[in-house]
Amino acid sequence: MAGVAGVGSLIYTGYNGLKCRMFVCCDKRQISLNLEGLRNDLTHKLHGQHLVQKAVIGHIKGHNDIENPPKALVLSFHGLTGVGKNFVSRIIAENLYKGGLSSRYVHLISATRDFPHEGMVEFYKEQLKDWIEGNVTKCERSMFIFDEVDKLPASLLDAMKPYLDYYDHLKGVSYRKAIFIFLSNAGGPKIGQIMFDHWKSGKKREDIKLSDLENSVMLSAINTDSQNGLWHSQLISSHLITAFIPFLPLEKEHVKKCIKDDIIKKYLSFYPSHRHVPEKYVDEVMEELTFQPALEKVFSVTGCKRVAEKVNYVMMDKDLSRDEL
């Protein structure tokens, strides 16, 4: 009998291996951490976010290296518009999942798109639970990215608590290898104020530490008129967030790097690297962007969010063949 069972197991294993060579499966062919790629992308493509680089690499590697992590990895990205929250989510996906954001195991949820009606919260709760359970049942290493989480009712976020908690299994399914990333603007203004005070005091940007921001940002986000968002949910009171990762407002030097990145991406045959991009074009794009405060003009109001469209506008009538490389 044991021999028959062993043969059956071998047949199933062989069939499963053949199936996964022909079709997409939740295995190492589809999900494998490219640590060097992650480190390289966060170092060279993400600008002005030294706190993010260290925290993301550490938590993603730590969670991935453990065969049976104690709970799902839950990262909270918070900061102003255009500072890189969505960009970092994409970088993580691209270095962990084949196909990046297009992988069937990576799921992007937009608060305003997917849960638009306040009066349907109870329906959304059941929908969200069924959706998480269904996807993790198919692949225990699924990743969920929640954008605009500050616009979600706290009670809707509460529905996710069991999947983020320290349970071995729920109805036979383990959620401990899943990744949840929450993106929020909550706390962004406070981060901006702290960074402005830091700048005014003459300190280096790179000297600011996570501990300089964490408590102030959390208190600022909690003490708002709105009762929506992560900060008012049981995920906070139950201490289920693995890490709060603040994204700093971007200064002119960082925006200039974003501009050069975009010009290279669009005109690679003319400008193969940053040093080849004419400063006159960078300056023209910078003139199209707004910086604050009004007097000092230290931080970009929209980060790098509008850079791509402003590059298109500035470059549309340029005769690049006349530039001296």
Q: Which residue has the higher pLDDT, 317 or 286?
A: 286
pLDDT at 318: 82
Q: Which CATH code of 3.40.47.10, 3.40.50.300, 1.10.10.10, 2.60.40.10 fits the domain covering 35-246?
A: 3.40.50.300
Structure confidence by residue, pLDDT tens digits, 89-138:
999 999 999 999 999 999 999 999 999 998 999 999 999 999 999 999 99
pLDDT in tens, 138-154: 999 999 999 999 999 99
Residue 86 assigned to a binding site: yes
84 assigned binding-site residue: yes
For range 247-256, the mean pLDDT: 98
**d(C-alpha 119, C-alpha 51), whole Å:** 38
To the question of whether residue 82 is assigned a binding role by annotation, the answer is yes
Answer whether residue 297 shows pLDDT above 90: yes
Residue 319 has pLDDT above 80, yes or no: no
Q: Is the peptide bond before 293 cis (omega within 30 degrees of 0)?
A: yes
Strand blocks (E) in the chain? 73-78, 106-110, 143-147, 179-184, 243-246, 291-292, 299-300
Q: Work out the pLDDT band at 214, boundaries 50, 70, 90.
A: confident
Identify the residue whose tokens are 């079709």.
Answer: 23
Whether 173 has a binding-site annotation, put simply, is no
pLDDT at 12: 46
Is 242 annotated as ligand-binding? no
Q: Is 303 one of the annotated binding-site residues?
A: no
pTM (predicted TM-score): 0.90
Q: What are phi and psi of 181, to 5 degrees?
A: -120, 125
Element (H, E) at 136: helix 121-138
Instruction: Work out the average pLDDT over 45-67.
Output: 96
Where do the structural domains in the chain lie, given as residue ranges? 35-246, 252-322
